[in-house]
Amino acid sequence: MKHRIQSDYTQTKLMDVTRESAGWEYLTFRVIRLQPGERYVEATGGDEVALVPLQGAGTLSAGGQQWAVARESVFTQLPHVLYVPPGQEIRVEASSMFEFALGGAPASGQYPVRLFTPEEQRVEVRGGGPAVREV
Distance CA 72, CA 120 (A): 18
CATH of 13-109 given 2.50.20.10, 2.30.30.220, 2.60.120.10, 3.30.300.10: 2.60.120.10
**pTM greater than 0.85:** yes
Distance CA 121, CA 19 (A): 28
User: Quick check: helix, strand or coil at residue 99?
Assistant: strand
Q: What are phi and psi of 50, to 5 degrees?
A: -110, 125
| Residue 39 CA to its chain's centroid (Å) | 15
What mean pLDDT is predicted for residues 35-51? 97
pLDDT tens sequence across 56-76: 999 999 999 999 999 999 999
Question: Which residue ranges make up each domain of the chain?
Answer: 13-109
Q: Mention every residue, 6+ apart, whose C-beta is less than 8 A from residue 84.
A: 44, 48, 49, 50, 51, 62, 63, 90, 113
